[in-house]
Chain A
Amino acid sequence: MIEKLIEYFQYPFVVYAFIVGTLIALSSSLLGVTLVLKRYSFIGDGLSHVAFGAMAVASVLKFTNQTVLVLPVTIICAVFLLRSGNNAKIKGDAAIAMISVGALAFGYLIMNKFSTSANLSGDVCSTLFGSMSILTLTMTEVVICVILSVIVVALFIFMYNKIFAVTFDEDFAKATGVKADTYNFIIAIMIAVIIVLSMNLVGSLLISALVIFPALSAMSILKNFRSVTIFSAVSSVICALAGMLISILAGTPVGSTIVAVDVFVFVVAFFIGKGTGGKA
């Protein structure tokens, strides 16, 4: 078993996959707590479908670097969704559902009608479930991913206290002169970046899991914001590493294996939380 692992790690693409996987797991877990508490658990799902739609358009238009189109479109939708949350005619969950389903349908429609690929259902499947695309990363993609996740993590650390204030009580923050709208805007951009990054790893369908599960596990056992944040980051990284190792050894799909490990950790945390009287 160990020989098998050593053998695999001699290939650069396996090393790339582990670097990217760890970074994505880390950055996606950071904002998870905020999203779950703000009742935006499904924003990951909605935005990833938007990214899927944009990706379909980009591949039909034969963009060499799809991120150029996918990232801006996703950012615009993220800003729109988080803004509309407060006082829009269409409420948060409905807006997310609308954008999510709409983008998915359009994406598939365009792919189906204009795609030149011979294996259409295979393409769709790998965009949705991530499958093996993390093992086909190029050096450039790895560098882009490293830079973006370093920016996301650094921004999060510097904005940690503001994010706490804005998440806990937006009205109070606004009334006492904190620029809550600006911070919400930056949070939305960070989420969009994280989602476009994670599409490489788990595909669009499983992104929500990567955002939500570590946060929920942490919230069922821990009782203050700092420890919840740290725990969800650590557990997300460990789950991603474990998931990738298992998928290499057992030959299972990478994205789904990582999520399965996340679910397992959540179930354990849930029962520990019940046992110690924490809120589940």
Chain B
Amino acid sequence: MSFISAQNLTLGYDKTVVTENLNFKVEKGDYLCIVGENGSGKSTLMKTMLGLQTAIDGQILFGDGLMKNEIGYLPQQTIVQRDFPASVYEIVLSGCQSHMGLRPFYTEKERALASKNMERMDIYDLKNKCYRELSGGQQQRVLLARALCATTKVLLLDEPVSGLDPKVTHEMYELIKDLNDSGVTIIMVSHDISAAVKYASHILHIGKALFFGTKEEYVASKVGKFFLNMEGGELV
């Protein structure tokens, strides 16, 4: 069975249907990119996968040893976070909450896990820095380290490069690729079709045109060709 499989999924909010008849699968080790125009339901799909909202119809099944709350999540910045007084270490450590249950305090094991993930994301020297004073790229690394504390099975990334400059964007994509190579399954929501085609193993295109398949199939498909020719692959 696959890690995640969606069957005849209908998504939306307040009974307004945004997308219908979604079918796709995510296998262990995949790198799935979800692309589509604004308003096509990318965020809604993501929230549904995370269990933050329910699907109107159809279902999402988890299998192959993946539990529902074992999906790490890299959210877009919220207003709350922009002036939150917290150190990098405090934020990364908070990712460990997922396996704490009712236990109130962190143990040595969790502190070690946080340190390990900060090293992995190359932010260990920023440990005591204040989150709001970091650059956009550094902040994303902090949130990635936090997500890795929660799980190393699946990471769901919501527009991880939005607002980053080209150099940092490139570094971010390489970092995500490294994670994927080391066995972390990646699901990424993105506007950037050219990067999606470069890095992903599978593409899910939602919106007016629906497509799900491997990257090679996508490039050869009608939908893929159309969007890749449009504005160099940037969906606006």
Residues of A within 8 A of B (CB): 33, 37-39, 157-162, 164-165, 167-169, 171-178, 218-219, 222-226, 228, 279
Q: Does B232 contact A (CB under 8 A)?
A: no
Nearest-CB residue, chain B, relative to A162? B97
Establish whether residues A174 and B94, one from each chain, have CB atoms under 8 Å apart when the complex forms. no
Collect the chain B residues with CB atoms within 8 Å of residue A173's CB.
94, 97
Establish whether residues A168 and B94, one from each chain, have CB atoms under 8 Å apart when the complex forms. yes
Establish whether residues B104 and A164, one from each chain, have CB atoms under 8 Å apart when the complex forms. no
Nearest-CB residue, chain B, relative to A219? B85
Given A171-B75, A174-B52, A178-B98, residue A279 in contact with residue B83 (CB < 8 A): yes
Provide the bound-state CA to CA distance between A114 and B97, in Å: 52
Establish whether residues A176 and B72, one from each chain, have CB atoms under 8 Å apart when the complex forms. yes
Nearest-CB residue, chain B, relative to A220? B85
Collect the chain A residues with CB atoms within 8 Å of residue B147's CB.
172
Collect the chain B residues with CB atoms within 8 Å of residue A165's CB.
94, 97
Instruction: Provide 5 A-B residue pairs closer than 8 Å at the C-beta atoms, listed in order of the A residue.
Output: A168-B86, A171-B50, A172-B73, A223-B130, A225-B86
Establish whether residues B81 and A168, one from each chain, have CB atoms under 8 Å apart when the complex forms. yes
Establish whether residues A161 and B81, one from each chain, have CB atoms under 8 Å apart when the complex forms. no
Q: How far is the CB of A88 from chain B (nearest CB, A)?
A: 12
Q: How far is the CB of A266 from chain B (nearest CB, A)?
A: 15
Interface residues of B, count at CB 8 A: 39
Residues of B within 8 A of A (CB): 47, 50-52, 68-69, 71-73, 75, 78-81, 83-87, 90-91, 94-95, 97-98, 100, 104-106, 128-130, 132-133, 146-147, 150-151, 156
Nearest-CB residue, chain B, relative to A225? B86
Provide the bound-state CA to CA distance between A175 and B146, in Å: 13
Collect the chain B residues with CB atoms within 8 Å of residue A167's CB.
80, 84
Establish whether residues B83 and A37, one from each chain, have CB atoms under 8 Å apart when the complex forms. yes
- Report the 8 A-B pairs with minimum CB-CB distance, sorted nearest first: A177-B69, A223-B130, A176-B98, A224-B87, A175-B50, A176-B150, A165-B94, A158-B104
The winner among A157, A168, A172 for most chain B CB atoms within 10 A is A172
Collect the chain A residues with CB atoms within 8 Å of residue B156's CB.
175
A sample of 7 more A-B contacts (CB under 8 A), given A168-B86, A174-B50, is: A168-B91, A169-B81, A172-B95, A175-B51, A175-B52, A177-B98, A279-B132
Establish whether residues B94 and A224, one from each chain, have CB atoms under 8 Å apart when the complex forms. no
Provide the bound-state CA to CA distance between A171 and B52, in Å: 7
Given A168-B86, A174-B52, A279-B83, residue A160 in contact with residue B104 (CB < 8 A): yes
The winner among B47, B91, B94 for most chain A CB atoms within 10 A is B94
Establish whether residues B84 and A37, one from each chain, have CB atoms under 8 Å apart when the complex forms. yes
Given A171-B52, A279-B83, A279-B132, residue A176 in contact with residue B95 (CB < 8 A): yes
Provide the bound-state CA to CA distance between A159 and B52, in Å: 23
Q: How far is the CB of B141 from chain A (nearest CB, A)?
A: 15
Establish whether residues A164 and B86, one from each chain, have CB atoms under 8 Å apart when the complex forms. yes
Establish whether residues A223 and B85, one from each chain, have CB atoms under 8 Å apart when the complex forms. yes
